[in-house]
A = this chain, B = another copy of it.
Amino acid sequence: MSEINNIDALTLTLAQEMRRDPRIFLAGEDVGRRGGVFRATKGLVQEFGENRVVDSPLAELSLVAVGIGAALYGLRPIVEIQFADFIAPAFNQIVQEAARFRYRTNGDWICPLLIRTPYGGGIGGGLYHSQSIEATYAHIPGLYVVAPATPYDIVGMLRYALRVNDPVLFLEHKKTYRLIKGEVPDSDYMIPFCKADIKRKGSDITVIAYGLMLHETLQAAQQLIHEDIDIEVVDPRTLHPLDRDTILSSVKKTGKALIVHEDNLTLGLGAEISALIASEAFEYLDAPVMRLTGPDVPAMPYARTMQDYFMPNVEKITTAIRKLAAY
């Protein structure tokens, strides 16, 4: 057992997995000598060499396509997209290609490609270094989208992702990289996909949150103890496909649900979770399902004032919960 932060959890697990499986290689912009702009691949080129830690040209479409090709061949590529915002040039390759090989060949060709990318805001990144991209990709059958938020979950899910035989979009909230610390056991545990985790048990209201918002929600829950509001916090961890059962049982128990995310409201992940609850737990609901999200603006502004206004946070979460509790 040792306490590490999210970025160390990544780096250590990448190294460990690369030692285990020689088919795993890493490619991305500046992942080599620079060790990644967030230093997630620090030291890896020194240990594994330039063949396995590959500085790619500045071209995300081909970075992903090369990963696809290598995955079809039978390797276990990990590609890093430097910022989630810059995955957009690879949209066609991810959605139309990586996610469809299995289905379009009736299982003959498979594409076990892992795409890692830092996402999310609150770090002064402005419109193009703060985006949440999960909803766009969670709409795509055949593509796993995961967003582990703690060192424990990151280690366990990264290990698992490297054994899954389908493409995976592995989202890392960049603000949590050094902010979030936690215990990680020494064992080779894994955390399966499609299993949500109840990060806090409670009886009054279910809050569904992931990434940075999970941590804000946990703080909010802590504060609300003093007001006698007992929050259950569900971390879906796998954002696509969702663990419907865990979400629904929690809401059936509490009768009230709030979903929190940074991405904008309209067709953000909260839309699907909300629709799911409204359809499958309708008779258990004591209040309308509530969403607390970024506003419907093209992305998060740079100026601090506007960024703070955009971001959900502990205060906004507690306010929303109070409202829901009072319903």
A: which residues have CB within 8 A of B?
Answer: 85, 88-89, 91-92, 95-96, 99-100, 103-104, 127-128, 135-136, 138-142, 240-242, 264, 266-272, 274-275, 277-280, 282-283, 285, 287-291, 296-299
Contact yes or no, B92 A298, CB < 8 A = no
Work out how many copies of this chain go into the complex: 2
Interface of A is mostly: helix
Contact yes or no, B277 A267, CB < 8 A = no
Contact yes or no, B279 A274, CB < 8 A = yes
Contact yes or no, B290 A266, CB < 8 A = no
Contact yes or no, A141 B264, CB < 8 A = yes
From B95, B100, B272, B290, A267 is in contact (CB under 8 Å) with B272
Report if A290-B279 is in contact (Cβ < 8 Å); known contacts: A266-B139, A266-B141.
Answer: yes
From B85, B272, B285, B296, A271 is in contact (CB under 8 Å) with B272
Contact yes or no, A241 B266, CB < 8 A = yes
Report if A278-B272 is in contact (Cβ < 8 Å); known contacts: A141-B264, A266-B138, A267-B139.
Answer: no
Contact yes or no, B96 A128, CB < 8 A = yes
From B138, B140, B296, A141 is in contact (CB under 8 Å) with B296
> Which residue of chain B is the closest to A128 with respect to CB atoms?
B96
Report if A100-B299 is in contact (Cβ < 8 Å); known contacts: A88-B91, A267-B272.
Answer: yes
Report if A274-B278 is in contact (Cβ < 8 Å); known contacts: A100-B298, A136-B136, A298-B140.
Answer: yes
Complex Cα–Cα for A240 and B272 (A)? 17
Complex Cα–Cα for A271 and B266 (A)? 9
From B92, B271, B290, A91 is in contact (CB under 8 Å) with B92
> Which residue of chain B is the closest to A85 with respect to CB atoms?
B96
Contact yes or no, B298 A138, CB < 8 A = no
Q: Which 6 pairs across A and B sit closest by C-beta, in order of nearness? A: A278-B278, A282-B288, A274-B275, A88-B92, A91-B91, A139-B267
Contact yes or no, A288 B279, CB < 8 A = yes
Complex Cα–Cα for A103 and B306 (A)? 13
From B95, B267, B282, B297, A138 is in contact (CB under 8 Å) with B267
Contact yes or no, A288 B278, CB < 8 A = yes
Report A142 CB to chain B, min CB distance, Å: 5
Report A139 CB to chain B, min CB distance, Å: 4
> What are the residues of chain B within 8 A of A140 when measuring CB–CB?
298
> What are the residues of chain B within 8 A of A95 when measuring CB–CB?
88
Contact yes or no, B274 A266, CB < 8 A = no
> What are the residues of chain B within 8 A of A267 when measuring CB–CB?
135, 138-139, 267, 269, 271-272
> Which residue of chain B is the closest to A102 with respect to CB atoms?
B298
28 contacts between A and B (CB under 8 A): A88-B91, A88-B92, A89-B91, A103-B127, A103-B299, A139-B266, A139-B267, A139-B268, A140-B298, A141-B297, A142-B297, A142-B298, A240-B266, A241-B266, A241-B296, A242-B266, A267-B272, A271-B271, A274-B275, A274-B278, A274-B279, A278-B289, A279-B288, A279-B290, A279-B291, A280-B288, A282-B288, A282-B289
